[in-house]
């Protein structure tokens, strides 16, 4: 039973929405002046939204909605530390997903508004991505033959010469205001990274719906600043994800580039973005989460892919933590313990007892299996990275 | 020199820090403005190195004068420098700050706003230096500095006496001298003390981000601890001299059991307390190595808290004197807070802001259709309220209450919000923002 993904602009009266006959529910993104302020799941009957539930959803979005409305009334602009938005490059790291990239690339070019766009093709098996990138004059294509998303990200940082590099995944579709909003986050010399809000592109399959309900990319509808005095570096998971982020190159040069033993394309499968955020915070920089920077992500469609993704998250987190423990940072042990006791064990219990709203057991188990495999994956990955180097 | 003389005098107090001083003077050599516009006075207090010779022998594009033989203490040096200043504006600059090329021009420009008159005090900015290396203490110190300026960067910031930092600020010379300058009896926080007197005299504080100078801060834990002790001592002086400031001082903060023990030992068993604080300071690097940053930070606050308490104990003979000092402080604060000015928002935000600009009360209630929905409380040592504070309070704190009050008054601001006020029984956490925790006050950490 697929769910429709809809946008609702709240500065106008709520229109009648119909023609949703294919769907039994809808994921409605609530916006004010185009900026998301909330979302709600609304049942669909006879192709129409249940208006009472929608109103309730709007009432629940009151905090962020009020904030944006007051900002509009005050003509609020954040005080800027350094004039206009910094110069930027949009980088897309991709690997053999030309069909998805055909949707990402035009959106990225539109959002870039004339700024350079860089496609880093990671270990491609054919020339189709190069051909696709060749269709836009402002898109530069580079090929990175060392496997791994982090190797490709580092290549993007080296290849660009702008102060900021904004990253989007090849399965995401950035909205037209995405880049401006991300760059607006760099309003202080200590801000090293800005992450944005990732919303679903489609929720056509049960796997996509589960992913959206239980591991959403979104981190809420308030701008938030993570700084080393108030945020443990290990809370990097709350900050956002590499699918929607911008980095300041000079700060990354200080904090260190991506760890090439981590993330997709290596045995560790994920975690490369969070590991970088952790280090950025540990060096005293700030990271801003800016929900006005919206990108839409196409979640994995099949249940097997979803399970595999969840497994990969488990592997990545534990691989990243293994690396830290080996380097003498024992505080991650406490973090691992907390995660196990406060979240993983209760989730498993709820799932086994089939409580309402619990995750399917195979997903919970996939994550746990991933965690167990993580340390081993880190070791394998290190060896491989050394062999390539 | 132009016939009318310089418009500003940069006063640099210094003591036996010739190399740092030279860096500061070299920064002034690179000023973008006309060198006739300012002069520089180096106020050397009790120097035993060759500072005097270096200043006398230096060739500078601006007029450079030396005031020598000042009695010890930076406050005395600043006062002596200001007394001899020929410019109508004094810019105080510390010797460990290297001013940016636009430094003097930015200070001058910030005072030249033709739309306002009255006494104005301009605070400059000391931007963080980005370093490749740096241990947790250096990183934390830098974060504290930045946090201090972050609040001032908000155009709706309500300035308080603690925002005056003598390292980089400017004000009219006559007003400074008329106020009697810095109080030389203070070991530190003499800038806060002056800030309070100036605010009481109706001064307007302004933050000028472009009046920037790079601060070489090499403070280590030992020096920071000693500084905390001085701050404790100074806060007792502040409380005695200006009782209305008491609620804003860390020494009046409510104490948990742990802090109660810490304060008790500072007064009654300083030998044990000192040993414990030194032991804790030695444990900090171990925590850092293990990556336990939040625990590290917690312990650091505890160590600083102890040395602050020790400083209070230096100034007060008995623990009971502290209670006597604080007697009536909270009642005084409550009495002042109860005197709230009513600001109706029925005519819109701009009209309400104008009302505040006219009356400048110390505390306000915000109301709509006769019903109060929010407040801006009294703050000890803060400037009176103005319209910009209202805008900031609505934006930062009361946005949801304001919109809900509009809906309740039958004036929904958006068509989609008809009847959309949240039901009274909806649990509060669903209505709160996910990251809505208020930022911790930085007063523990300011001005190390």
Does A61 score more than 80 pLDDT? yes
Which of A225-234, B97-106, B223-232, B311-320 is the least confident region? A225-234
φ and ψ of A222, to 5 deg? -110, 140
Are A70 and A104 in contact by the 8 Å Cβ rule? The answer is: no
DSSP state of B340: P
Q: ipTM of the assembly?
A: 0.89
B426 touches chain A (CB under 8 A): yes
Are B42 and B78 in contact by the 8 Å Cβ rule? The answer is: no
pLDDT recorded at residue B114: 64
Question: How many CB pairs below 8 A link A and B?
Answer: 135
Q: Give the closest-approach CA distance of A224 to chain B in angstroms.
A: 7
Residue A328 token pair: 């003498």
B391 touches chain A (CB under 8 A): yes
Does B37 score more than 90 pLDDT? yes
**pLDDT digit string, tens, across residues A132-169:** 999 999 999 999 999 999 999 999 999 999 999 999 99
**pLDDT digit string, tens, across residues A18-49:** 889 999 999 999 999 999 999 999 999 989 99
B431 — pLDDT class (breaks 50, 70, 90):
very low
Rounded to two decimals, the pTM is 0.90
A341 touches chain B (CB under 8 A): no
User: Contacts of residue B440 in chain A, CB cutoff 8 Å?
Assistant: 229-230
Q: Report which secondary-structure segment, H or E, holds B212.
A: strand B204-215
Question: Which residue in chain A has the smallest CA separation from B439?
Answer: A230
Does B130 score more than 70 pLDDT? no
**pLDDT digit string, tens, across residues A304-324:** 999 999 999 999 999 999 999
Are A44 and A20 in contact by the 8 Å Cβ rule? The answer is: yes
Q: Region B27-42: what's the mean pLDDT?
A: 96
Cβ-based neighbour number of residue B384 at 10 Å: 17
B413 touches chain A (CB under 8 A): yes
> Which positions 127-186 of A are in contact with B (Cβ < 8 Å)?
none
User: Contacts of residue A74 in chain B, CB cutoff 8 Å?
Assistant: 349, 391, 394-395
Choose from B200-204, B287-291, B440-444 the range with maximum mean pLDDT: B200-204
Q: Region B49-75: what's the mean pLDDT?
A: 88
B12 touches chain A (CB under 8 A): no
Domain coordinates in residue numbering, chain B: 8-218, 222-327, 338-431
Please, which contacts does B183-187 make with residues 24 or more away whose CB atoms are closer than 8 Å? B183/B75, B184/B71, B184/B73, B184/B75, B184/B76, B184/B79, B185/B237, B186/B75, B186/B234, B186/B237, B187/B230, B187/B233, B187/B234
Q: Give the closest-approach CA distance of B290 to chain A in angstroms.
A: 5
Sheet bearing A25-32, strands edge to edge: A3-9, A25-32, A35-45, A48-49
Residue of A10, A73, A223 for testing the chain B interface, max B β-carbons within 10 Å: A73
**pLDDT digit string, tens, across residues A327-375:** 888 888 988 998 899 888 998 999 999 888 788 899 999 999 999 999 9
pLDDT recorded at residue B4: 75
The top-level CATH class assigned to B8-218 is: alpha beta
pLDDT recorded at residue B432: 36
Does A80 score more than 50 pLDDT? yes
What would the DSSP string read from start to end of B246-257?
A: GGGSGGGS---H
**pLDDT digit string, tens, across residues B389-419:** 999 999 999 999 999 999 999 999 988 887 5
pLDDT recorded at residue A238: 77
Write the residue in A59, A64, A79 that is nearest to B422 by C-beta.
Answer: A59
pLDDT recorded at residue A79: 57
Whether residue A190 and residue B146 make contact (CB cut-off 8 A), yes or no, is yes
Whether residue A32 and residue B414 make contact (CB cut-off 8 A), yes or no, is yes
Higher pLDDT, B40 or A13: B40
B430 — pLDDT class (breaks 50, 70, 90):
very low
How many residues would you count in chain A? Answer: 389
């Amino acid at each position: 039973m697929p769910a429709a993904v809809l946008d609702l602009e709240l500065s106008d009266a709520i229109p009648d929405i119909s023609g949703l006959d294919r769907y039994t529910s809808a994921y409605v993104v609530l916006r004010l002046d185009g900026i998301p302020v909330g979302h709600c799941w609304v049942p669909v009957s006879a192709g129409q939204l249940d208006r009472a539930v929608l109103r309730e959803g709007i009432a629940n979005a009151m905090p962020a909605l009020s904030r944006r409305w007051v900002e509009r009334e005050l003509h609020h602009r954040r005080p800027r530390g350094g004039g206009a938005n910094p110069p930027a490059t949009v980088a897309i790291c991709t690997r053999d997903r030309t069909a998805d990239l055909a949707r990402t690339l035009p959106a990225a070019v539109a959002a870039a508004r004339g700024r350079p766009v860089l496609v880093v093709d990671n270990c491609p098996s054919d020339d189709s991505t190069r051909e696709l990138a060749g269709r836009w004059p402002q898109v530069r294509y580079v090929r990175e033959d060392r496997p791994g998303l982090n190797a490709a990200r580092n290549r993007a940082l080296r290849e660009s010469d702008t102060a900021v590099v904004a990253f989007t995944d090849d399965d995401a579709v950035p909205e037209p205001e995405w880049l401006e909003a991300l760059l607006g986050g760099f309003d202080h010399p200590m801000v090293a990274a800005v992450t944005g809000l990732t919303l679903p592109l489609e929720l056509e399959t049960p796997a996509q719906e589960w992913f959206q309900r239980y591991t959403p990319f979104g981190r809420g509808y308030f701008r938030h600043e993570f700084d080393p005095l108030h945020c443990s570096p290990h809370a990097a998971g709350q900050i956002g994800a590499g699918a929607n982020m911008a980095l300041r190159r000079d700060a990354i040069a200080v904090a260190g580039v991506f760890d090439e033993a981590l993330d997709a394309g290596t045995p560790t499968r994920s975690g490369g973005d969070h590991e970088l955020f952790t280090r950025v915070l540990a060096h005293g920089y700030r990271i801003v989460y800016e929900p006005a920077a919206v990108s839409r992500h196409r979640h994995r469609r099949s249940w097997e892919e979803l399970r595999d993704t969840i497994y990969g998250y488990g592997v990545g987190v534990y691989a990243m933590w293994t690396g830290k423990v080996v380097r003498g940072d024992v505080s991650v042990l406490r973090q691992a313990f907390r995660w196990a006791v406060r979240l993983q064990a209760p989730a498993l219990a709820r799932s086994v007892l089939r409580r309402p709203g619990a995750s399917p057991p195979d997903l919970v188990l996939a994550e746990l299996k991933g965690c167990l495999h993580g340390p081993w994956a880190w070791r394998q990955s290190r060896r491989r990275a050394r062999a390539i180097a | 020199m132009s016939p009318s003389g310089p418009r500003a005098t940069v006063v640099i107090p210094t003591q036996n820090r010739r190399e740092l001083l030279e860096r500061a003077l070299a920064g002034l050599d690179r000023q973008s403005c006309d060198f006739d516009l300012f002069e520089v006075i180096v106020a050397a207090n009790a120097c035993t190195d060759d500072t005097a010779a270096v200043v006398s022998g230096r060739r500078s594009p601006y007029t450079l004068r030396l005031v020598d033989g000042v009695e010890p203490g930076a406050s005395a040096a600043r006062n002596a420098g200001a007394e001899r200043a020929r410019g109508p504006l004094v810019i105080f600059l510390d010797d460990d700050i290297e001013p940016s090329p636009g430094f003097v021009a930015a200070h001058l420009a910030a005072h030249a706003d033709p739309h306002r008159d009255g006494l104005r005090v301009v605070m400059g900015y000391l931007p963080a230096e980005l370093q490749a290396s740096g241990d947790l203490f250096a990183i934390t110190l830098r974060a504290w500095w930045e946090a201090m300026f972050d609040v001032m960067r908000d155009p709706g910031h309500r300035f308080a006496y603690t925002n005056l930092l003598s390292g980089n600020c400017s004000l009219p010379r006559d007003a400074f001298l008329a106020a009697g300058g810095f109080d030389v009896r203070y070991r530190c926080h003499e800038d806060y003390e002056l800030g309070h007197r100036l605010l009481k005299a109706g001064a307007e504080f302004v933050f000028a981000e472009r009046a920037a100078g790079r601060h070489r801060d090499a403070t280590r834990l030992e020096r920071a601890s000693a500084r905390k002790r001085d701050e404790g001592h100074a806060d007792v002086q502040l409380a005695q001299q200006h009782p209305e400031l008491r609620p804003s001082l860390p020494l009046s903060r409510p104490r948990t059991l742990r802090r109660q023990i810490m304060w008790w030992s500072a007064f009654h068993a300083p030998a044990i307390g000192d040993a414990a604080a030194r032991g804790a300071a030695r444990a900090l690097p171990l925590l850092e190595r293990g990556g336990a940053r939040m625990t590290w930070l917690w312990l650091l606050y505890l160590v600083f808290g102890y040395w602050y308490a020790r400083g209070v104990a230096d100034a007060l003979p008995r623990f009971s004197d502290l209670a006597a000092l604080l007697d009536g402080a909270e009642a005084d604060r409550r009495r002042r807070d109860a005197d709230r000015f009513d600001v109706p928002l029925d005519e819109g935000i701009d009209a309400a802001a104008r009302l505040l600009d006219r009356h400048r009360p110390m505390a306000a209630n915000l109301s709509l259709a006769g019903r109060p929905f929010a407040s801006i409380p009294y703050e000890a040592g803060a400037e009176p309220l103005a319209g910009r504070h209202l805008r900031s309070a609505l934006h930062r704190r009361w946005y949801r209450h304001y919109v809900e009050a509009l809906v309740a008054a039958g004036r929904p601001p958006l068509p989609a919000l008809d009847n959309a006020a949240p039901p009274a029984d909806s649990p509060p956490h669903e209505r709160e923002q996910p990251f809505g925790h208020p930022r911790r006050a930085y007063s523990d950490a300011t001005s190390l």
